[in-house]
Amino acid sequence: MLFNRSGSAISTIANILASPIEYLKGVGPLRADMLRKELNIFTFKDLLEHFPIRHIDKTKVNPIKDINAFTDYIQVVGRLVHYEIIGTGRSRRLIAQVKDASGQLELTWFQGISWVEKNLHIGSDYLIFGKTGFFNSKPQMVHPEIEVFVPAKAGAKAFLEPVYPSTEKLKARGLNGRQLAKLTYALMQLLQPKDLPENLPDYLVHELKLLPRFESYAAIHFPATDLLYRKALERLKFEEFFIAQVRLQLVRLQRSNASQGVVFGKVGNYFNDFYNKYLPFELTGAQKRVLKEIRTDTARGRQMNRLLQGDVGSGKTMVALLSMLLAADNGFQSCLMAPTEILAQQHYTGLKELLKEMPLEIALLTGSTKTAERKRILKGLIEDTIHFVVGTHAIIEEVVQFKHLGLVIVDEQHRFGVAQRARLWEKATVPPHVLVMTATPIPRTLAMTAYGDLEYSVMDELPPGRIPITTVQRNEMARANVMGFVKEEIQKGRQAYFIYPLIEESEKLSYEDLMQGYEQVKSFFPEPQYRISMVHGKQPADQKETNMERFVKGDTQIMVSTTVIEVGVNVPNASVMVIESAEKFGLSQLHQLRGRVGRGSEKSFCILLTGSRASKEAKERINIMCATNDGFKIAEKDLEMRGPGDIEGTRQSGALNFKLASIVNDKGLLELAKEKAESLVEKDLYLEQEAHQSLKNFMQSQKLKQGWSKIS
Ligand code: ADP
Ligand code: MG
C-alpha cells in the first residue's frame, strides 16, 4: 500500500540469512533445537540479530588476587587443581578450584554437572569469565564461562570478544555466551557485503558519517576497538529509528494527500460571536496555537487526523468547543465522544451552559437516553437541525447518521486505538476531521513512535492563576489525622474525594474494598451533618448519574469512588483527594486522578495513603507524585520506569519493536531519525528517486517477512 504508485515486484533472491540455523557449521539438529526453544533463533538472521550484551578484551587477563568486593565481571586464567561433586538433590554441585600465580578461585556449577565434569582436566589451564562473588570471604564464581586457554597467537587480529545473553539451560549444554560468539563468528565468515546491502540512502550515510551496514554488523559483534563498536551500534540504532519513521511519515503524508477532507474555509459568526461575547476567559497561548493548527489543518481540503495532548486541566474542552463552532460556521455538524456516561453528561451540561445564548442546537446521546428523545435526536442529526451531539462513543458510532458531519472529537482516549477510530469515519465519501484528545500527556518520544502517523498538538501551558496542588504521602496509621484534615476542608465549604483502587483480578474484591471504605468514611463523617455520594462500576447508570450530580451540585460533600471517576470530571469546589492504597496505582493514573482537584480558586491537596508493603517502584512513583504536578514530566518518568511496552493505551504497534534502539535512552538519535525521515518523505512521497531504491526494497522485504512470520 505504501508503494502503490510504482508497484514494483519484490525480488526473491535466495537469501543466505534466511537459512535455517541448523545449517550453520557447529550447530546441528540438537543445538538448533535448543537455540530455537531458548533464544528464538530460527535462522542465520536471527543469530545475526542476537546482539552481544558486552564485549570483553580477550587480551586482558586479570590476576585472581585482583578480585575484590567491587569486582563485577572479570576474566582470569587459572590452572585446575581440584574438583569434586558434593551435596544431593537441589544442593548437588560441582566445585572446582583454579589457581594462578596470585591466588585461588572457586568455581561452582549447580546445573549441567556431568557435562562440565567431562570437560574438566586437572592440570589444564582455563580461560574463565564470569561474575564474581564472595563465599566464606573467598572469591567465587557460579556458572562461569570456561574454555581451555590457548595463548593468543602472535599477529592474530585482535578484537573485543562479544558476550551474548544466554540461558541457564543453554549454558548447561555448553552453549554459553562464548559458544554463541563462536557460532556468530562462523556466520560472519560466511557473509559478504552483498548479503547485508546498504539500505540507507548514500547521501545520509555520508552526511551523518554512518558506518556502512555490513561493517556495522561485523563491528557490533566483533569490533576491533570500542570506538568502532559504538559507531556500529549508533548506525544500527539509527537505522531502526529511521526506517520506522519513514514508514510512519509515509503513512501520514500519503493518507493526508489521498484523503479528501471537508473544507472549513472561513471563520464565521458562530465562532466570532462566541469568542467576543461569551468566552469566559482569555485563551492561553497554547490554546491559541493549537486552534491555529486546527484551523490550518481543516482548511486544506484534506482530512485532519490530529492528536491533541495536554496536561490535565490545560483546557482541552474549550479547544474542542471552538473547533466545533468553526465547523458550524462552515455548515458542518460535530460530535464529541466521551468514554463514560458521566463525562458525556458533564460535557453536555458544560457546553450547553456556554452556548445558552447562541442559536445552536446541542444534544446528548448516551445509553440511558430515553427512546422518544433518542428518536428526536437521530432525526435532528439526519435532518441537520442539530449542530452538536455529545455522547458516549459506542452509541454514536453504532447508530448515528449525520447529514453533514464535519468534525469528530474523541475525548480522553489514549486508551484505545486512535487510528482505528480515525478509520471508522473514513467510510463516508468525504470523511470528517478527527481530533483525539488524550487525558494526560504522552512522552514525546513515545508519541513520535507510537503515534507518528498522526499530526499532533501539544498544550503545555495551564490557564493562569492555578494554585499548585500539594501532594503528600501518609501511612495508613495516620488515617485519623487525614480524616481530621479532610473535615477541616469540608467545614470551610469544600468537597472531597476518596478513591479506591480497582483490583483488576477481582471485581468482587474491589467492590468489598470500596464498601468497607465507604463504611469507614461514613463513621468519620456521620449523616446528616455530612452527605456522601458513592460511584462505582457496578452501579446502574442512572444511579451513578444521580450520585455524581449530587456531588457536582454540592448536595454531597464527599465522593467515594473507584477509578471510574478519573476521566475528566470537573468539580472546581473539590479541594481534597484521598487516594487509598496509592501504591496500587500507576503513575499516569495517579496524575489523572489528582487532576480532579486543583480546578477551582482554592488551594487543593492530594493525600496518598499507602500500606506498609509498598514496593520500591511504588515508593518511587509516590515520590514523583509528591515532587511534581507536571504531567509531561510524570509521563517521561512513567516511560522510564515501565518501558514503552507497558504504557497504558499505547498501540501494540510494530513501531515500538526495536531490537537495539530505545526510545528512553536514545532520544537524540530518534529526533535525528525523525527529522531525516520527514525531509526524505517530503521530497519523495512514493520513494521513486534512485537514491531511495535500496531503502524501498528493504522496507518491502521487511514487510513481506513480517507477513510470513505471522502465517507460520
Ligand atoms: P482538560 O484539558 O483537562 O480537559 P478542561 O477543559 O476540563 O481541562 O479545563 C479545565 C478548567 O479550566 C475548566 O474549568 C475550564 O473552564 C478552565 N479553562 C480552560 N481554559 C481556560 C483559560 N484559558 N483560562 C482560564 N480557565 C480556563
Ligand atoms: Mg477534559
Q: Are residues 423 and 474 in the same domain?
A: no
- Give me ligand 2 centre to Cα 317, in Å: 6
- Give me ligand 1 centre to Cα 537, in Å: 27
- Give me ligand 1 centre to Cα 644, in Å: 29
Q: Which ligand is nearest to the CA of 344?
A: 2
Q: Which of 317, 438, 461, 467 for a ligand 1 pocket mutation test, highest count of atoms within 8 Å of Cβ?
A: 317
- Residue 111's contacts (CB-CB under 8 Å, 6 or more residues apart) are 143, 168, 169, 171, 172
**What nine digits make up the cell of 259?**
484523503
Residue 463 in any domain: the answer is no
The span from the first CA to the last CA of the chain, in angstroms, equals 22
Residue 684 in any domain: the answer is no
For the cut 60, the answer to whether the pLDDT of residue 295 exceeds it is yes
pTM for the whole structure = 0.75
For 554-604, where are the alpha helices, taking DSSP H only? 587-594
- Which residue puts its alpha carbon closest to atom 19 of ligand 1? 315
- Using a 10 angstrom Cβ sphere, with 0-12 exposed, 13-18 middle and 19 or more buried, the burial of residue 70 is exposed
Q: Are residues 594 and 549 in the same domain?
A: yes
Mean pLDDT over all residues of the chain?
Answer: 86
Taking only the tens place, the pLDDT of each residue in 346-357 is 899 999 999 999
Structural domain tally of the chain? 3
pLDDT recorded at residue 527? 87
- Which among 640, 674, 295 has a CA at the least distance from the CA of 449? 674
Of 187, 208, 231, which residue sits at a domain end? 187
Highest mean pLDDT among 49-63, 189-203, 561-575, 698-712: 189-203
Rg (CA), the chain: 32
User: Confidence class of residue 177 from pLDDT cuts 50, 70 and 90?
Assistant: confident
Q: Are residues 420 and 483 in the same domain?
A: no
Q: Note whether 313 and 243 are within 8 A (CB).
A: no
pLDDT recorded at residue 5? 47
- Which among 159, 194, 182 has a CA at the least distance from the CA of 58? 159
Rounded CA gap, 566 and 402, in Å? 31
Which helix or strand (DSSP H or E) is residue 104 part of? strand 104-109
pLDDT recorded at residue 58? 66
For the cut 80, the answer to whether the pLDDT of residue 632 exceeds it is yes
- Which residue puts its alpha carbon closest to atom 4 of ligand 1? 316
For the cut 60, the answer to whether the pLDDT of residue 699 exceeds it is yes
Residue 69 in any domain: the answer is yes
Taking only the tens place, the pLDDT of each residue in 6-56 is 444 444 445 899 999 999 998 989 899 999 999 999 999 999 999 998 887
- Give me ligand 1 centre to Cα 468, in Å: 15
The residue type of 691 is A
More confident residue, 602 or 272: 272
Q: Are residues 334 and 430 in the same domain?
A: yes
Q: Which atom of ligand 1 is nearest to the CA of 595?
A: 3
- Give me ligand 2 centre to Cα 410, in Å: 10
**What nine digits make up the cell of 97?**
578450584
Determine the average pLDDT of the residues in 154-166: 72
| CATH (domain of 100) | 2.40.50.140
Q: Which atom of ligand 1 is nearest to the CA of 319?
A: 6
Q: Give the other-Cβ count within 10 Å of 226's Cβ.
A: 11
Taking only the tens place, the pLDDT of each residue in 304-339 is 989 898 888 899 999 999 999 999 999 999 999 988
Q: Which of 274, 281, 459 for a ligand 1 pocket mutation test, highest count of atoms within 8 Å of Cβ?
A: 281
Q: Are residues 418 and 510 in the same domain?
A: no
Residue 507 in any domain: the answer is yes
- Which among 184, 525, 483, 542 has a CA at the least distance from the CA of 345? 542
DSSP codes, 642-698: H-GGGSTT----GGG--SS--TTT-HHHHHHHHHHHHHHHHH-TT--SGGGHHHHHH
Rounded CA gap, 191 and 187, in Å? 7
User: Confidence class of residue 428 from pLDDT cuts 50, 70 and 90?
Assistant: low
Q: Give the lowest-confidence range in 24-28, 143-147, 309-313, 427-431.
A: 427-431
Q: Are residues 397 and 526 in the same domain?
A: no
Q: Are residues 379 and 513 in the same domain?
A: no
Q: Which atom of ligand 1 is nearest to the CA of 411?
A: 4
- Give me ligand 2 centre to Cα 216, in Å: 48
Cα distances (Å, whole numbers) of residue 226 to 42, 156, 709:
29, 18, 35
Q: Which residues line the pocket of ligand 1, CB cutoff 6 A?
A: 281-284, 287, 310, 312-318, 463, 568, 570, 599
- Give me ligand 1 centre to Cα 371, in Å: 33
pLDDT recorded at residue 646? 57
Of 572, 598, 628, which residue sits at a domain end? 628
Residue 432 in any domain: the answer is yes
Q: Which ligand is nearest to the CA of 336?
A: 2
Rounded CA gap, 609 and 137, in Å? 43
Rounded CA gap, 677 and 671, in Å? 10
- Residue 392 in 3-state DSSP? strand
Q: Which ligand is nearest to the CA of 601?
A: 1
Residue 589 in any domain: the answer is yes
Q: Give the lowest-confidence range in 385-399, 484-498, 576-590.
A: 385-399
For the cut 60, the answer to whether the pLDDT of residue 442 exceeds it is yes
- Which residue puts its alpha carbon closest to atom 17 of ligand 1? 315
Residue 572 in any domain: the answer is yes
pLDDT recorded at residue 54? 84
Determine the average pLDDT of the residues in 673-680: 96
Q: Which ligand is nearest to the CA of 465?
A: 1
- Which residue puts its alpha carbon closest to atom 15 of ligand 1? 315
Taking only the tens place, the pLDDT of each residue in 481-495 is 999 999 999 999 999
| CATH (domain of 604) | 3.40.50.300
pLDDT recorded at residue 471? 97
| CA pseudo-torsion sign 257, 260, 266, 267 | negative
Taking only the tens place, the pLDDT of each residue in 633-652 is 999 998 888 776 655 444 44
Residues of the domain holding 121: 54-187
3-state SS of 219-247 is: HHHCCCCHHHHHHHHHHHHHHHHHHHHHH
Question: How many helices (H) does the chain have, and how many strands (E)?
Answer: 24, 21
For the cut 90, the answer to whether the pLDDT of residue 706 exceeds it is no
Nearest 5°: CA angle at 573, between 571 and 576?
95
Q: Which ligand is nearest to the CA of 339?
A: 2
